[in-house]
Structure 1
Amino acid sequence: MSQSDKDGKNCSCEICGKEFTEEDAMEKHVEIHVGAPEHICEICARGFRWRHSLQNHLSIHFGVKNFVCGICDKAFAYNSVLKEHMLIHTDRKEYRCEICGKNYRTNATLKRHSEYHSDIKHPCSICNREFLDKYGLKEHLQTHFGIKNFVCQICDNAYTHNSSLKRHMRTHFDKRMLLKEYNCEICGKEYDQKGHFTRHKVIHSGIKLHSCMVCQKEFYYKANLRSHMRIHAEVEKTFVCAICGKAFTTIPTLREHALKHTVRKEYSCEVCGMEFHRKSAIKSHMLIHTEVRKHRCNICDMAFRREETLRSHLNGHSDVRKFECEICGKAFCRRASVTQHMKILIDAREYRCDVCGMNFRTKSVLKTHSLIHKDVKQHRCAICGKEFFQKCQLESHMRMHLDIKKLVCEICGRAFGGSSGLRRRMKMHFDLKDFKCDVCNKAFRRKGRLTAHMQDHTGMKKYVCDICGKGFNLNFNMKKHMKIHSDIKEYKCDICGKCFRTKRDMNRHRICHSGAKQERCHICDRKFHLKTALKTHMLIHYNIKRFCCEICGQACVQHGNLMSHMEIHFGVR
């Protein structure tokens, strides 16, 4: 039996397809499609065929709702809308889609759903965005014309959609007062709306039904896929920033960008004083100051502050490595990992700095590098006042104050606060020197050391001492040198009380108290406390005399020997 026979509707409109039980009702309906409407609304200029339709329409403008639901007391302007609402209180869904089998309460809802299975799309005449049904297009057009019929009765804010008004109304009430009746059995997260809870459950299923036809990237939700497709499509960027001229494809991205131009940041952190434009940003930032990590991995028991970080971590436990490198065949769990891996192999540095000409693999690294030229250090330590270019540099620095050292070297047992310190230590143990000088073939563990070394060949010394005029390649070396001119010795040995200018000198001195002489000369078997002392000793065996007297030309192995020799010329005994 067809749906029309089931409803007792045996005649339909040839223009729009609407079905009717009586032929007279259908003939009256056909008049809608013929000629101009006679009755016009003086408020919104909408036209109607019949006077009673205009009267019913005016009740919307004046808020007249005479039809009340006897179950939930919700009121409506039209009796037909009340009848449709009453179906919500029953579980009857007798209208079934013949394609996907989904059930609906009304025939109108089924018709609207059937348009999703059709290839016909309804394009917006203003921005060319396409919609699967005409109802979605109608709601979308309201955003272009600024039509906002839904007004908040508390603060008078107006919205285009009723759903937007409902979301806004929740801001007037304390979230703790909202009844969260939908609880997730897997992670314990609670929701007060069934729709949000349903969307959340998709994440735990691990099934990403929506995949990109271009790059095969998968998504949980169709909305995320649509947003992703703008990357591949050459979408015209019609929304332009009035300050800097940068263009965007959507209004939300333009609004997000516009916040960067505003000087005032309304939200500030009470702990470190950092300021933010958005409330969501400060909420995310506050997680840094707390040690609460409620998102725990059920495999390795590692805990995280954010749920998205845990999801990314869980991919590492998976044996499924479907993203394979096209060059070496190595497989990865994440597409971002294989992309980054391939850039390293081909040394693709497509992002170029306009100031110094340096090239970088990623846009984020270039953005971080550009801060050096601007000399903008936005991240300040609340304890010692030291400033940093990057947030991660500040976090690494804070571990020093808090004495947090979680990473331990498996060879020597030394602990480090960050992974960079551990990597440098491992390179020292295995004597890995990846950066080699093209002139003299001398190798270095760090790129910065090689850059400073290259200045020796050019004769350029970027940093010069104001007192003695000695030049240095690194600012660190000059600062260390400046302590020679100072009489301040702030580091004191707790064993013998001897004072030193630098902490390094004090640590080297303390080795002498330990009595351990681990450095042995392979020629004469003499032992030394320090490796530097051994290197100086080896100069004697190889007869290398680097220090020469300017008066008589006599050469000495050590600088101390030269100073003793100079006393002969000046009569000092």
Structure 2
Amino acid sequence: MDYTGAAVTNTKCDICGKAFVRKKNLERHMEMHAGLRNHTCHVCAKTFTQKGALNCHMKMHVDIKNYKCFTCDKEFSRECTLKSHMIIHADIKSYTCHMCGKEFRRKSNHTKHLNTHVGIKNHQCDICGKGFSHSSGLKLHVNMHAGVKNHTCDVCAKIFTQTGVLNRHMKMHVGIKNYKCCICDKEFFHKCNLVDHMITHAYIKNYTGDVCGKEFCRKSNLKTHLNTHAGIKNDKCDICGRGFAHSAGLKLHMDLHAGVKNHECCICLKTFSQKSTLKQHMETHIGVKNYKCGICGKAFTQMSGLTVHMRTHSNNKRHICGICGRDYHRKRDLGNHMSSHTGVKNHKCEVCGKAFVQKSQVKLHMDTDVGVKNHKCDICSLTFTQKSGLNRHMEIHAGITKYECDICGKGFSRNGGLKLHMNLHAGVKNHKCDVCLKTFSQKSTLVSHMEIHVGVENYKCDICGKACAQMSALKSHMNMHSNVKNHKCDICGREFNRKINFDCHMNSHAGIKNHKCDICGKAFSHSGGLKLHMDLHADIKNHKCDICGRAFSQSGGLKLHMDRHAGVKNHKCGICTKTFFWKSTLKRHIEIHAAIKNYK
């Protein structure tokens, strides 16, 4: 039996293989493959291949939803949409990707997914030109350009452009890390983060910077790095106004303001706000110095230290003090210098309570309290608490005298040494001994003098074993063993080991006797003579003869006495050749010859 518009069986599409009962349906289907969209919505201008699809679409604008889900009560404007929705409740995934094995509930999603493998991106962004395999991806992307963020986190109130990103973000609050690295066991909240992390283990760096040639594993890292070259700093600190090329840098910087230091050194227990700073700090304990100066050869543990050091060679001091005009290589040094003008001393010693302008000064001061002297002179083995002290000391060995006294011409390696020396010429003695009331022009001389009262004799002679309270006294004593007498008297020809003895001797020729006894009024040319004389008044006789037991106040008296026991007569008369034990006896004997001569 023949009917008008009878069905034509086995009508099949040559492209996708779909079969149709009627030829007219096949023709409409072919229009889909051809991309013909002759049916346009007059509300939103969206186009469709079939009139039926347009009619269903119009129901969305009218907001007529006649189809309701019996499971979740969600309403739909089209029956086909309801059917697609019901598949979700049934959890049936009938479509499987033959490339990656991923399963889908809907054929449309499966088709879109296959486009990602093939690389087909028919939907392109008009703003940045980025391509997408399906229209929904483009729609979400356009929202990013428009700044539309409709999805808000209920915990931290952070907003997102896509609901998928919000869902991934919520895992961070819950603390669920379902993705674990099989190499280092590090866990991640999101699969995409794990994929990015795996690239670091593979050491594949496909992204290279055009400016400096630095390579990166991720494109996002390259993009951030290029911002540093361009000087783009879009992330700004609300407290100090400092800008950063990426948000991670700003986040770490905010920890500095908050005082958060979660990274602790296992050796010295010092804490740091950033992990990278701790890593650099650990190199100081290990002693690794990989960064070397090409000019002077000095090595540093950190690249930043070498960068700062190179400025000293360039002599470019960009940071100038507005008060005194002094210039510095580093901004930090200028900041420390400004504290000296304001007088603010925020850094305090925990041992003695002394306050300092700079933190580095406290550290150096602590070394002096503890007595740590790690800097040793290779020439004389003298040790110092500070490297600067050793450097100044080495100038003495090198004979470098930058500062010269206008009065006596003596040279000094330091300006401070010249100032102290000028006090000697001026007779300024502001440092007084509490024990003997003796005054000194320099504090260091007073400190050395106090060791005499305490009885501390740390400096010992290697030849005779004599101990001295001061290093200067030991040096003078060593001249006696060397028998070097560089100081000679022009009047009598007598030679001396030490200049101080020579000066005292010259006073005796000039008749200068500044040291006077308070008891008998006898004067002496040097203090040593007065001291020995005072022992006579005090009847102090510490020098005893081992043979007869007789005691003497002076060692010279004992020595002469011992010559008598030994029968040594060193004093000979030039007239009659008679010898005597004592010089005083010889003088009296000479007077006899003179008296006989006068009598004749």
TM-score normalised by structure 1 residue count: 0.47
| Higher Rg | 2
TM-score (norm 2): 0.45
